[in-house]
Structure formats: C-alpha cells, structure tokens
Amino acid sequence: MQVKIFDESHEKDLETDINDFLKEEKRDIIDIKYSVSTSVFSEEQIYCFSALILYK
C-alpha cells in the first residue's frame, strides 16, 4: 500500500492534480480522504485544500 498527498490553495488546482495522478497509470485506489482548512492572515482569508490517496 502507498499514499500520495496533495495540497493546494484552490480547489480546482487540487482537482487537476488528482486527475493527472489518476491518469498516469492504472492504480488500485483504496480510499481518498479530502480536507479543507481555513485561516485568517491580516484581513485575508486563506484556504488549504488537501487530499490523501491510498492505493496499491
């Protein structure tokens, strides 16, 4: 079993990264964990979109 972790500041970038990873070669995907976190820096709200893929 292996893992691949993705971390992006925009959900569309995360989507693109995951789709590219899945196109590379046939993998037996076991699970995908998705997470969103937010923080505030000064007056700016910052988002972090991440995913962990478990595969064989």
pLDDT in tens, the chain (56 residues): 999 999 999 999 999 999 999 998 888 999 999 999 999 988 889 999 999 999 99
CB 7 within 8 A of CB 30: no
CB 29 within 8 A of CB 42: no
Provide the whole-model pTM. 0.80
* Chain position carrying tokens 């992006």: 8
What's 27's DSSP letter? Answer: -
- Could you tell me the residue ranges of all domains in the chain? 2-55
Pull the structure tokens for residue 30: 């076991």
CB 4 within 8 A of CB 50: no
Phi, psi of 19 (to 5 degrees): -60, -40
